[in-house]
Amino acid sequence: MDCYLSLILVWISIIKVFHPVEKIMAEIFFLGTGGSVATKERDNTSLLVSNDEALILIDCPGSVIQKIKKLGFDPRCLTSILVTHVHPDHIYGLPSLVHSLMLDECRIDLYGSEETVVFCQELLDLFRLREEKIKTKINFISLKNGQDLSFASSLQATVLRVPHHSSSLAFYFDFGRENKKLMYSGDTPLYTSLFNSALDLDYLIHDCSAPSRFFKEYPLLYEMHTNSLQLGKLCQEVRVRCLIPCHFFGELDFSLVEIEKEIRQNYKGKLIMPRDFQRISI
- Residues with active-site annotation: 89
Single out the residue of 217, 149, 224, 215 nearest to residue 185, CA to CA.
Answer: 224
- List C-alpha distances in Å: 210 to 38, 112, 195: 14, 26, 19
Angle at 142 between CA 139 and CA 146, to 5 degrees: 135
Q: Give just the sign of the alpha carbon dihedral 254, 234, 188, 140.
A: positive
Entry field: residues in the chain? 282
Using only C-alpha atoms, the chain has a radius of gyration, in whole angstroms, of 21
SS3 label, residue 225: coil
